[in-house]
Structure 1
Amino acid sequence: MSNPPSFHLSENNNNNNINNDNHSVHSPDSTAVTNDKDHLPNVVQSYTNKSFRHDDDHIYINDIPINKKEFTLAFGGAFEVGPREKTRELIEYANPVPAGLGAFSASAISLGLVQMHAREVHMANSLLGAFLTTSGLVEIIVGVLCFVIGNTWACCTFLMFGGFWSSYAFVLMNVGGIAESYSNENEYAQSIAIFFLPWALFSFCLWICTFKSTVALTVLMFLIWLFVLLFTIAQFASSVLVFKAGGFFAILAGVIGFYNMLAGLVDKSNAYFTIRPLPLPNQYDPAKEA
């Protein structure tokens, strides 16, 4: 990303003059722009009037254009919770997030249907392979790749949920005779609830990190937190109705996850439409850090 134009400020008696490329403006709030088509516009603006806007190709901080290819905004399709300058790796490597979103969403929908007893199915044993590989292994790989491109929040999210799905699969597989080690079914159910409880807290922490991102991303994390929380309550209370409610929100989370995945995949080269992110109020403004 090229450096912004330099600012020159000089004082003469009681008048402040701003000079840039031999153009003089006698108001500190005025803007001077060169007409050289071979260079980006040289913009001079008072630091007291910061502005931030963007179009299809550029982001403008104080009317200084920055190519979007060198900058990333909050976007569910890339699991970006706020704008930041792209690293060299982020420019060179593909976006791994859609794969992680697809893996999570597929398992969430399937688990939700089982919890709602769809087609009279009550056991999730058929999903063990998906929990171990699709949601477990794939999300861990995506988390590592997010580490490479410098996306801390996405890295933490995918690595942890990759571990969540894998560990839940081991519980369902009864590895090491987990179920038999408890004296009765109620004790076993309470232990599962204790397993879910910290994941509900973790999901809540992830959710509050999206309050300045986009509507689609914060809705996704809210639904994830809600369905994990309902699973926890259902295990503590041994309530089938709460289990079904959790399954319903798991399905919704999967659908919104697929929406965010699609947003990260479609562009003008492969589809006739693109998905524009809808920012939340008070979204982080890079101009304040300029």
Structure 2
Amino acid sequence: MSNEQVQVRFSNPAPLGLAGFALTTWLLSMINAGWFNGDSMGMVLAVAMAYGGTAQIIAGIMELPRNNTFGATAFVSYGAFWWSFALFVLFLHDKVPAAFVGWYLFAWGVFTFYMWIGSLAAARALQLIFLALWITFFLLAAAEWTGIGALHAAGGYVGLLTAILAFYLSAAEIINEAHKRVVLPTGVPGTTR
């Protein structure tokens, strides 16, 4: 029997979680921005349950043995957001007042705001994702409270930006790891990445 320690290296689940978040956010934001109408929501709901919801929750659980509290909290929470959104649209949409939907979105904005503060110690790309996301939630909440369509569209466009940023960071983590060098910079503090 050897006294050598076996070092276990867990794979990085962040690209999976980011991609699930990005794709689902992109699809919903196209509707919010007014590019498509509610007839397209069925595809959003399918992706919300399968990729945005389930894949993100799996990514969050995979963050636990890596001792990444931030990643686990973010991915499980936003995975649960997508599941709650899908269940709401499927079963409760016409039974909940718009003002209460505004509070739902506002509460997610508050959560996202403090996650953004936590992200300030991480890569610049991640900081930008959370910055754009809390702005998206607050714009959409304000749209529900006021009924102003321009706020809803603005939330859609900022959501599209959020999705692009999340796709970028997912791609950067995959491509940089595959090439064993920085191909797509992420702005990691204290490094040239």
Q: Normalising TM by the smaller chain, what interval?
A: 0.7 to 0.9
Which consecutive residues of structure 2, in runs of 5 or more, have no partner in the other structure? 1-6
Aligned sequence identity (%)? 21
Shift of 1:161: 0.4
Cα distance between partner residues in 2 of 1:259 and 1:190: 34
Q: Which residue of the other structure, out of 48, 68, 71, is the alignment partner of 1:131?
A: 48
2: CA distance, partners of 1:229 / 1:268: 34
How high is the TM-score relative to the length of structure 1? 0.59
Q: Distance in 1 between matches of 2:177 and 2:111?
A: 36
Contact 1:223-1:253 at 8 Å conserved across structures: yes
Question: What amino acid does structure 2 have at the position aligned with 1:169?
Answer: A
RMSD: 2.2
| Structure 1 pair 163–121 and aligned structure 2 pair: CA distance change class (3 A) | same
2:13 aligns with: 96
Matches within 5 A, 1:218-229: 218-229=127-138
- Residue 209 of structure 1: SS of its match in structure 2? helix
Contact in 1 for aligned 2:54/2:79 (Cα 8 Å) = yes
Query: Distance between the aligned counterparts of 1:252 and 1:143, measured in 2?
Result: 23
- Bigger share in strand: 1
TM (norm. structure 2) is: 0.87
Which residue in 2 is equivalent to 1:26?
Answer: none
1:238 is displaced (CA, Å) by 1.0
Aligned to 2:145: 236
The unaligned stretches of length 5 or more in structure 1 are 1-87, 183-187, 284-290
Confirm or deny: 8 A CA contact 1:108 1:254 kept in the other structure: yes
Amino acid at match of 2:183: T
1:198 alignment partner AA: A
Q: Matched residue of 1:199: which SS?
A: helix
For residues 219 and 171 of structure 1, the distance between their equivalents in structure 2, rounded to whole angstroms, comes to 28
Deviation at 1:125, TM superposition (A): 3.1
Q: Which amino acid aligns with 1:221?
A: F
Q: Contact 1:268–1:274 (CA<8 Å) still a contact in 2?
A: no
1:257 aligns with 2:174: no
1:78-125 deviation line (CA, Å, top 9, x unaligned): xxxxxxxxxx54xx121111000000000111111111111x424523
**Which amino acid letter does the alignment assign opposite residue 76 of structure 2?**
L
Q: CA deviation at 1:270?
A: 4.6
Q: Which amino acid aligns with 1:210?
A: S
> Following the alignment from structure 2 to structure 1, what is the Cα–Cα distance between the partners of residues 94 and 129?
36
Q: Residue 166 of structure 1: CA displacement?
A: 0.3
Distance change in 2, residues 1:279/1:180 (3 Å): closer
Q: Which amino acid aligns with 2:54?
A: L
The within-5 A match list for 1:43-58 is none
Aligned with 1:159 (options 76, 79, 82): 76
Partner of 1:121: 37
Within 5 A, what are the aligned runs for 1:1-290?
88-89=7-8, 92-118=9-35, 120-123=36-39, 124-174=41-91, 178-181=92-95, 188-267=97-176, 269-270=178-179, 274-279=183-188
Larger radius of gyration between Structure 1 and Structure 2: 1
Q: What is the one-letter code of the residue matched to 1:144? A: I
Structure 1 residue 278, shift from structure 2 partner: 2.0
Once residues 179 and 161 of structure 1 are traced to their aligned partners in structure 2, the CA distance between those partners, rounded to angstroms, is 20
In structure 2, distance between residues paired with 1:112 and 1:268: 29
For the residue of structure 1 that corresponds to 2:119, the secondary structure is coil
Amino acid corresponding to residue 236 of structure 1 in structure 2: W
Q: Which runs of 4+ in 1 moved over 6 A?
A: none
